[in-house]
Structure 1
Amino acid sequence: MSDQGESGIFVGGGGRDYSEAQYLRPDYANRHGLIAGATGTGKTVTLQILAESFSALGVPVVLSDVKGDLSGLGQAGSDSFKLHDAFIARAETINFTDYAYRAFPVTFWDLFGEQGHPIRTTVAEMGPLLLSRLLDLTDAQEGVLNIAFRVADEESWPILDLKDLQALLVWVGENRKTLSLRYGNVSSASVGAIQRRLLVLETEGGAKFFGEPALELDDLFLTDETGAGRINILAADKLMQSPRLYATFLLWLLSELFETLPEVGDPDKPKLVFFFDEAHLLFEDAPKALVDKVEQVARLIRSKGVGVYFITQNPADVPEDILGQLGNRIQHALRAFTAKDRRALQQAAQNYRDNPDFDIEDAIREVGVGEAVTSLLERKGIPGVAQRTLIRPPSSQLGPITKATRAALIGQSPIAGKYETIEDRESAYEILQKRAAEAAREAEEAEAKEEQAAPAEREYRAGRRYSAPNVSRSTSKPRRRSSRSDSVGTAFAKSFARQMGTQSGRAVVRGILGGLFRGR
């Protein structure tokens, strides 16, 4: 049999002798799925063979490469590979007669721009909800962030990168009294806390994620000249050092797909398949509003032709409301060394349709590496009976490719050069900087006029003093200069204007933006 039979995508062989083919139906692939199991049980290889099969069907794939192993999708397997004999033996065991090595079209992406094409979005596209999750803000701090976004929208100030957001927050802080009357309390403590979180994010490399050119979703839906779907591989080995950024980015991408794609109903095959590895990171310490958002996306995005597959160690890592929407399930071995592990194992077994030939809980505990308990949707979307399944071997290389091979594939990509050069058009930072410069110029002009008028003013005052002899000296105190505070402000603005072109000057800009325009 081939990996693309009439019944769908060949996953492996089930039954007592592993001769019963287990298929994932393409018309139910957008009903989402789960790949679970302990470390080292074969989850990554299962992800790899599903990505291969969807690509062969002409379905683009998005996945994250947490360990660097999945880059092998871009290169064919080899007879010289040490597991070649084992792969051939397994193919014979499960009657996989058309098994052959081949490479698949891949597009490498990297938030840091080191192992693939840079992938970016703007701060405005990320939005306050996901940004608050990324920064781990309190409710009060999230409220201030929402006010900042509201002000930027009303003033038409584009928020593209972190320096835009930092400048905007300075403006909000300096104008907090006025804004509090209109939107609710804006405290300087909340503004300062957000700025500190932004500094941490910038230090961790998050600044590279925000900016332009922003990702165009159409670039995730490409196919090659043969019609095979391109496999979009996000390099996540370094990204996993900032797990909150990793989870927030993938959730943002999923949300963008949900909000952008049109309704397609129930297609014969998905328009895109999205694999969310290390899915537990998405839900750890997540506020209810965010979990509700994930549930909404998971429930509705299937009607837009997108299938979402969560990969995690334990099904209990996924909230029950979301777990209940995952129709296609591949459960690798779970270990039950503690009471908590045993409860998790029991819970996992309850999610499968009983098979009279074996006890599901025992099977999940006993399956070997590369073997799993599967339940794949059948006709009319009915969950299939649980089967012990020997997963088919991959056709592409198992393990990472060399740096030279990766570089060559990146250079041959249809989007090569599109995202490599950063654009920095006028946005909130530049607009507020121009306002500061204009205020400084006006202050300097006012000072110059005052200096020109000073001699005439002194002469006029002297004339009045000698032409009014009847006025008591005790009641004719010379007036102080009209506005001492204005002179101080003018001098400061003049000094500020001279610093505008320097790095320290730009820092000053951010520190006084709001104060300069409080009355404007």
Structure 2
Amino acid sequence: MKNPEAFISDINEGNTFKGDYITFGSAMLNGETLSNTFVNIPLKTMNRHGLIAGATGTGKTKTLQVLAENLSEKGVPVLLMDIKGDLSGLAQPSPGHVKIDERHAQIGLPFEPKSFPVEVMTLSEQDGVRLRATISEFGPVLISRILDVTETQAGIISVIFKYCDDNHLPLLDLKDFKKILQYATNEGKAEFQESYGRISTASTGAILRKIIEIEQQGGDLFFGETSFDTQDLLRTDENGKGYINIIRLTDIQDKPKLFSTFMLSLLAEIYSTFPEKGDSERPELIMFIDEAHLIFNEASGALLNQIESIVKLIRSKGVGLYFVTQNPTDVPEAVLGQLGLKVQHALRAFTAKDRKAIKLTAQNYPDTDYYDTAEVLTSLGIGEALVSALDEKGKPTPLAATMMRAPMSRMDILTEVELANLLAQSKLARKYNKEIDRESAYEMLNKKIEQAEAAEAKQKAKEEREALKRAERNRNSASTRRRSTRQHPLIKVLTSATVIRGVLGILSKMIK
């Protein structure tokens, strides 16, 4: 191995940038922290995505917190998926600690406690800014992929959306979607068949079961109005700090379908609405997805393909995605290959499988003359990590074992009173926390069905009245005919056969 002076020279040369950057910590060699040998990450390449990985308790969440703080301070808005519920402390300054002072003395950086502008958001009934989206905003393709339907069922969903567009029926929430599916195979069957072809009851039944699966995971709270405007993720405060938007997901670990649905809709909306940025000097938005395996483990093949496509394309919008997970193998290779920044905390080798995974993980990092990467991965302490980023030209920076700087904000959650005060001051809470249930497909189809039933009842009543009138006319006609054939008694006697014969006999005698 080369000497420490050569290592320091390589690190300093490889981490010197013309543009703005974040100082992540100080490099380490042979287990010793090299003071003032800083590991820097250029803002210019932070839209190239990244990975924060490591075993439980090695400091992944604090690394995420440090990155979010420094991005906010540089004026870059951040979106955090807070699944463990321990990131709301970003809104309050750190109380400090003697161990933090010792760490920063080793690194060679002053420690300054700070708070950051925070918005707390939610997908469920937890306190926070409510995040919603309408069925129409998803469109038939995304809905089909989320529901993981067959090709035939996807075609039916496309027909459903076309019918709603043609008939100006807003598809806002799940009850709208369920109602139109039921209508297509019941009351509106003839109408659909005439204009769009026959729709199978078995197929609509299968789609309905998929919808109920999402509904049971809380989808009825997510789908609806007011839809969240992704531009509200890009705010800065009066001091120029980027807002850190924290989505509380502590109750969603057993609802992976809802989490995947939300993530896909958010990424798709950002990609479709954000302008192209190309290679700008700083990202527009950085998203951190904690417990990333929740997206990938439960996602269907179609959903994975959609996520992988968006990851490849969304960086051109100035958006960086950072996946936080225990093992890099939790992230599909197609996504892993797109990641520029890699922060690898310690991995534990308890089994042969673990040792094999560590060797594979080590191969994901640039070659170095200074470390046995696989060995370092098992010997890193808490708050230490192997770091490899991209420089301003897109080339990997030298691999460095790094002593991470401590978060400037509180490494703990907000109290209930602090959270209530934060939400009371939130402009977004006032904007999005009003529930709206305007007239949409559900109400309009019910009204259409009621009108059709009323018209049918009216027509039936009319037909019954006409039938009564016909019956009355028939009775009157028969009565008339009977009266016309009835004779007067005198006429009846005079025209009887006996009288006639008698008269004819008298006339016969008179003639003689």
TM-score range, shorter chain: 0.7 to 0.9
**Partner in structure 1 of residue 69 of structure 2:** 52
**Partner in structure 2 of residue 381 of structure 1:** 394
**Partner in structure 2 of residue 108 of structure 1:** 120
From 360, 370, 376, the equivalent of 1:363 is 376
Question: C-alpha offsets along residues 157-216 of structure 1, whole Å, 9 cap, x if unaligned?
Answer: 210011100111101222568757876774322322322333343333220111111101
Q: Separation in 1 of the partners of 2:213 and 2:92?
A: 38
From 286, 292, 308, the equivalent of 1:295 is 308
2:329 maps to 1:316: yes
**Partner in structure 2 of residue 246 of structure 1:** 259
Question: C-alpha offsets along residues 458-496 of structure 1, whole Å, 9 cap, x if unaligned?
Answer: 222224445678xxxxxxxxxxxxxxxxxxxxxxxxxxx
Code of the aligned partner of 2:130: P
Number of residue-to-residue matches in the alignment: 461
Where 2:432 maps in the other structure, the secondary structure is coil
Q: Separation in 1 of the partners of 2:98 and 2:401?
A: 23
From 109, 127, 140, the equivalent of 1:128 is 140
CA contact (8 A) 2:19 2:44 kept: no
CA contact (8 A) 1:133 1:248 kept: no
Where 1:416 maps in the other structure, the secondary structure is helix
**Partner in structure 1 of residue 421 of structure 2:** 408
Bigger radius of gyration: 2
| RMSD between aligned residues | 2.2
**Partner in structure 2 of residue 170 of structure 1:** 182
Q: Separation in 2 of the partners of 1:144 and 1:339?
A: 49
Where 2:121 maps in the other structure, the secondary structure is strand
Q: Separation in 1 of the partners of 2:219 and 2:20?
A: 44
Where 2:259 maps in the other structure, the secondary structure is helix
**Partner in structure 2 of residue 269 of structure 1:** 282
Where 2:172 maps in the other structure, the secondary structure is coil
The 3 A distance-change label for structure 1 pair 127 and 338 is: farther
The 3 A distance-change label for structure 1 pair 264 and 118 is: same
**Partner in structure 1 of residue 26 of structure 2:** 13
Q: Separation in 1 of the partners of 2:112 and 2:317?
A: 33
**Alignment map for 1:134-283 (pairs within 5 Å):** 134-174=146-186, 179=192, 186-283=199-296
Q: Separation in 1 of the partners of 2:121 and 2:428?
A: 11
Q: Provide structure 1 residue ranges, at least 5 long, that are not aligned to the other structure.
A: 470-520
Q: Separation in 2 of the partners of 1:37 and 1:139?
A: 39
Q: Separation in 1 of the partners of 2:314 and 2:149?
A: 28
Q: Separation in 2 of the partners of 1:366 and 1:143?
A: 54
**Partner in structure 2 of residue 68 of structure 1:** 85
Where 2:87 maps in the other structure, the secondary structure is helix
**Partner in structure 2 of residue 439 of structure 1:** 452
Code of the aligned partner of 1:166: K
Where 1:204 maps in the other structure, the secondary structure is helix
Q: Separation in 2 of the partners of 1:279 and 1:371?
A: 21
Residue 62 of structure 1: how far off its partner (Å): 0.6
Code of the aligned partner of 1:107: E
Q: Separation in 2 of the partners of 1:343 and 1:186?
A: 52
Residue 328 of structure 1: how far off its partner (Å): 0.7
Residue 344 of structure 1: how far off its partner (Å): 2.1
Question: C-alpha offsets along residues 242-279 of structure 1, whole Å, 9 cap, x if unaligned?
Answer: 12211221221111111111111111111111111221
Residue 396 of structure 1: how far off its partner (Å): 0.4
Where 2:55 maps in the other structure, the secondary structure is coil
Q: Separation in 1 of the partners of 2:473 and 2:434?
A: 63
Residue 340 of structure 1: how far off its partner (Å): 3.0
What is the TM-score with the length of structure 2 in the denominator?
0.85
Residue 292 of structure 1: how far off its partner (Å): 2.5
Question: C-alpha offsets along residues 14-60 of structure 1, whole Å, 9 cap, x if unaligned?
Answer: 13232321111001111111111111111111000000011000011
